């Protein structure tokens, strides 16, 4: 990762998985951090760890489906560090199941977080990123390129996110803002232990670690 010394980065979904790993990496490269997620206890532990290592970091509760939460996270960046240069729209989860089993509400819930959550995050921070001629990173998925059985809701959401990121890249290029779409495959995270309501089930084993 490039040197982000002097830059301020906001990461949604920073309490676990990709968001948590990115927070550590951004801190390692010198960025000041605003960490946002629903689970503030985990965010506070991560902030304590990073600041003990010399990083500058603050956190705040943020549900990307709740009006005002992303705006408060952007305000926290301005109040704490005076600017916002990098936004990582990472918050998301996976609704799984066959089409005949899933309801329209399941699909709506999936899009509310994975698609509109990204769009809301962009809208809430775009003025700051414009001023900084900064960067937006959208965390997509390989499922935004290839769909598999039982993943229609998740794949649809990630195909939509891919389209949003590609369009934003073209729209914002002239302003000096870069847009990066990241499409990971399987990674170490809790996504496979989160149910279709978006609730973490601690007791559920991670299938990626099964023999």
Residues with catalytic roles = 154
Per DSSP, which regions of 31-126 are E strands? 32-37, 57-61, 86-89
State the Cα–Cα distance between residues 27 and 145, nearest whole angstrom.
Answer: 30
Q: What is the DSSP letter of 204?
A: S
Q: Provide CB contacts within 8 A for 198, sequence distance 6+.
A: 93, 109, 113
Contact 70, 124 (CB under 8 A): yes
Give the burial class of 191: count Cβ atoms within 10 A of its Cβ; 0-12 exposed, 13-18 middle, 19 or more buried.
buried
């Amino acid at each position: 990762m490039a040197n982000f010394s002097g830059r301020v980065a906001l990461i949604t979904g920073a309490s676990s998985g990709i968001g948590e790993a990115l927070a550590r990496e951004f801190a390692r490269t010198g960025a000041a951090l605003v960490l946002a997620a629903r689970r503030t206890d985990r965010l506070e532990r991560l902030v304590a760890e990073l600041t003990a290592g010399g990083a500058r970091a603050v956190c705040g509760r943020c549900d990307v489906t709740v009006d005002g939460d992303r705006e408060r996270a952007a305000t926290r960046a301005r109040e704490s560090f005076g600017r916002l240069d990098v936004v990582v729209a990472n918050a998301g989860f996976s609704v799984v199941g066959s089409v005949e089993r899933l309801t329209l509400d399941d699909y709506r819930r999936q899009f509310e977080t994975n698609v509109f959550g990204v769009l809301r995050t962009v809208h809430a921070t775009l003025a700051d990123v414009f001023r900084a001629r900064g960067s937006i990173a959208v965390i997509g998925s390989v499922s935004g390129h290839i769909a598999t059985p039982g993943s229609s809701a998740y794949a649809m959401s990630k195909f939509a996110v891919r389209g949003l990121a590609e369009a934003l890249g073209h729209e914002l290029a002239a302003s000096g803002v870069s847009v990066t779409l990241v499409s990971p495959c399987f990674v170490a995270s809790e996504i496979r232990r989160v149910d279709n309501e978006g609730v973490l089930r601690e007791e559920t084993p991670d299938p990626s670690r099964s023999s």
